[in-house]
């Protein structure tokens, strides 16, 4: 059941062409970053991971809002499960993120944009970081689709605020002592810091940073699926 649903969602989203703006913004930003050569390896990967974080949040919002209400209701009636529908959307977006993360990590290596060979270790770290930050952006977008936030202007404004404070999380941690900022804010800034300082940090420290983002994503997606199973979409679409 999940494979036909993902195939349908891929065809529906690509035929709507709403993917073009967020994907094009990611591609153009990455091409612009690597216009001048050579570039430091991990600092460049940290920058493109943040680009993917923002671009995937935008792509997630456009994907979750691309269907007509009637079209979504027909699919929900056929599935008889809002949880399956929500999970199918998350997995479809994960596929898009996987492709984008691979392209963004491999592109500078193929084009010789780095000052030194990236190496398998750095590329593996970079791919994991890009994948996690991409999915983090999508996890945030789940809560801002029209069935959750009816006014698109509010949703876009909230998304921009969350993205800005997430990227500037390190500064907020300095201004607001205590664990609240670290726990509540999406951990985009700690992941960017881990990628930038990957050569200086211990493996366990890197693993902790990656695990932090992964747990945050799982909590957001898990709560989204839980709430989706209890929403009356006939009233919210």
The DSSP result for 74-88, as a single string, is HHHHHHT-HHHHHHH
Cβ density class 154-172: b for 16+ within 10 Å, e for less = ebeeebeebbebbbebeeb
Q: Residues 6 or more apart from 100 whose CB is under 8 A from it?
A: 23, 26, 52, 55, 56, 130, 134
pLDDT at residue 237 in the model: 52
Q: Which has the closest alpha carbon to 135: 75, 29, 216, 17?
A: 216
Backbone angles phi, psi at 114, to 5 degrees: -95, 155
Backbone angles phi, psi at 177, to 5 degrees: -65, 160
Q: Residues 6 or more apart from 126 whose CB is under 8 A from it?
A: 42, 45, 49, 105, 118, 195
pLDDT at residue 80 in the model: 83
Mean pLDDT of successive 10-residue segments in the chain (237 residues)? Answer: 90 92 96 91 96 97 90 85 93 97 96 92 96 97 92 93 88 73 86 93 93 96 90 58
39 has which bridge partners? Answer: 114
pLDDT at residue 2 in the model: 85
Answer whether 102's CB lies under 8 Å from 17's CB: no
Whole-model pTM: value is 0.92
pLDDT at residue 234 in the model: 54
For the CA atoms of 123, 92, 62, 217, the dihedral, rounded to the nearest 10 degrees, stands at -60
pLDDT at residue 150 in the model: 87
pLDDT at residue 232 in the model: 63
**What is the chain's Cα-based Rg?**
18
pLDDT at residue 171 in the model: 74
For residue 148, the SS3 value is coil
Q: Residues 6 or more apart from 167 whose CB is under 8 A from it?
A: 50, 53, 54, 188, 189, 192
For residue 38, the SS3 value is coil
Give, as one character, the DSSP assignment of residue 146.
Answer: T
């Amino acid at each position: 059941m999940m494979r036909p649903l993902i195939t349908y969602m891929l065809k529906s989203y690509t035929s709507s062409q709403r993917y073009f703006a967020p994907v094009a913004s990611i591609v153009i930003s990455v091409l612009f970053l690597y216009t001048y050569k050579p570039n430091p390896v991990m600092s460049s990967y940290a920058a493109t991971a943040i680009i993917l974080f923002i671009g995937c949040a935008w792509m997630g919002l456009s994907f979750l809002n691309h269907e007509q209400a009637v079209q979504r209701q027909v699919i929900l009636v056929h599935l008889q499960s809002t949880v399956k529908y929500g999970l199918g959307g998350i997995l479809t977006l994960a596929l898009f993120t996987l492709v984008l993360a691979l392209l963004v990590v491999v592109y500078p290596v193929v084009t010789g944009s780095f000052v030194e060979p990236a190496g398998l270790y750095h590329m593996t770290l970079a791919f994991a970081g890009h994948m996690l930050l991409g999915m983090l952006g999508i996890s945030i977008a789940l809560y801002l689709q029209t069935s959750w936030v009816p006014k698109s202007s509010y949703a876009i404004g909230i998304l921009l605020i969350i993205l800005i404070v997430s990227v500037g999380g390190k500064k907020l941690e300095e201004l607001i002592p205590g664990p609240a900022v670290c726990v509540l804010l999406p951990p985009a800034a700690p992941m960017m810091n881990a990628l930038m300082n990957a050569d200086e940090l211990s493996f366990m420290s890197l693993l902790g940073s990656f695990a932090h983002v992964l747990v945050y994503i799982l909590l957001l997606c898990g709560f989204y699926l839980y709430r989706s199973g209890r929403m009356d979409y006939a009233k919210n679409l």
